[in-house]
Structure 1
Amino acid sequence: MPTDVANTKELKRLTNEALNYTGPRGILAAIVDELVGILESVSGFRVGQEQSLTEGETVCDDGLAISPAQAACCAGEYQRTAFFLRGAHSAILQALEAKPGGAVRVLYAGSGPYAALAVPLMTIFPPEKVKFTILDLHTESIQSVRTIVSELGLECSVESYVVTDACNYTIPPRGLPDILLCETMSTALEKEPQVGITRHLLGQAPDAIMVPESVRIEAFLVNTSDEPSMIIPESADPSGCRQPNRISLGPVFELSKAAIRSWAPNETHRLPAQSIRLPLIPKPSYRPFLFTTIITHGEHVLLTHDCNLTGIREIMEIDALAAGGDSYQFTYLLGQNPRLVAEASESHAQDSRRD
Structure 2
Amino acid sequence: MEKQELKKRLLQYSRDLLKDGDFHDKLAPAVMGYADLLFEYFDVNNTAGREDIQTTHGNAIGTFWAARCIREVLRTQRFSRGLYSSVLKMVNQSKKPVHVLYAGTGPFAALALPVMMLLAPEDVQFTFLEINPESIAKLKEVINLFDLDPYVKNIHQCDATVWDVSSSEIDIVISETMNRALITEPQVAIMLNLASQLPKEVVFLPEEIKVSLCKLNDGNKEPEKIAELINFNKGLMYSIIQNSSLRNWEFADQDVRVNILEDEQLCYMTEIRVNEDNTLNFNQSSLNLPERLKISQKQGPVNLNFRYSLDKKPGFVVKESFK
Deviations 1:105-125 (A, max 9, x none): 001110001110012211111
Q: Is the 8 A contact 2:56 2:159 kept in 1?
A: no
Q: Which of 70, 79, 82 is the aligned partner of 2:74?
A: 79
Q: Comparing 10-19 with 156-165, which one deviates more in the overlay?
A: 10-19
Q: Is the 8 A contact 1:270 1:331 kept in 2?
A: no
Q: Which residue of 2 aligns with 1:20?
A: 19
Deviations 1:265-305 (A, max 9, x none): 32626512433232x54x30112111000101111000011
Match of 2:124, as an amino acid?
V
Q: Which residue of 1 aligns with 2:139?
A: 145
Q: Which residue of 2 aligns with 1:337?
A: 313
Q: Which residue of 1 aligns with 2:293?
A: 315
Q: Which residue of 2 aligns with 1:122?
A: 116
- Structure 2 unaligned spans of 5+: none
Match of 2:44, as an amino acid?
R
Q: Which residue of 2 aligns with 1:197?
A: 190
Q: Which residue of 1 aligns with 2:56?
A: 61
Q: Give the direction of change, closer, same or farther, for the CA distance of 1:269–1:127 in structure 2 (3 Å limit).
A: closer
Aligned length: 318
Match of 1:257, as an amino acid?
K
The SS at the match of 1:191 is coil
Larger gyration radius, structure 1 or structure 2: 1
Match of 1:116, as an amino acid?
A
Task: Return the offset for 1:27.
Answer: 4.8
> Which aligned pairs between 1:1-355 and structure 2 lie closer than 5 A?
4-20=3-19, 22=21, 27-42=26-41, 44-48=42-46, 51=47, 55-98=50-93, 100-173=94-167, 175-205=168-198, 206-223=200-217, 225-226=218-219, 243-244=221-222, 246-263=223-240, 264-266=243-245, 268=248, 270-278=250-258, 280-281=259-260, 283-317=261-295, 319-323=297-301, 326-344=302-320, 348-349=321-322, 351=323
1:46 and 1:253 map into 2 onto residues whose CA distance is 35
The SS at the match of 1:293 is strand
Runs of 4 or more off by more than 6 Å in structure 1? none
Task: Return the offset for 1:145.
Answer: 1.2
Match of 1:89, as an amino acid?
Y
- Structure 2 length normalisation: TM-score? 0.91
Q: Is the 8 A contact 2:80 2:111 kept in 1?
A: yes
Match of 1:11, as an amino acid?
L
Task: Return the offset for 1:24.
Answer: 5.5
Task: Return the offset for 1:313.
Answer: 0.9
Q: Is the 8 A contact 1:269 1:335 kept in 2?
A: no
Q: Comparing 297-306 with 313-322, which one deviates more in the overlay?
A: 313-322
The SS at the match of 2:18 is helix
The SS at the match of 1:86 is helix
1:316 and 1:97 map into 2 onto residues whose CA distance is 48
- Structure 1 unaligned spans of 5+: 228-242
The SS at the match of 1:204 is coil
The SS at the match of 2:34 is helix
- Structure 1 length normalisation: TM-score? 0.83
2:66 and 2:3 map into 1 onto residues whose CA distance is 24
1:172 and 1:247 map into 2 onto residues whose CA distance is 44
2:283 and 2:250 map into 1 onto residues whose CA distance is 28
Q: Is the 8 A contact 2:304 2:318 kept in 1?
A: yes
Deviations 1:211-249 (A, max 9, x none): 1111101111111x346xxxxxxxxxxxxxxx34x4321
Q: Is the 8 A contact 2:55 2:161 kept in 1?
A: no
Q: CA RMSD in A?
A: 2.1
Match of 1:290, as an amino acid?
Y
Match of 2:129, as an amino acid?
L
Task: Return the offset for 1:69.
Answer: 1.0
Q: Which residue of 2 aligns with 1:233?
A: none
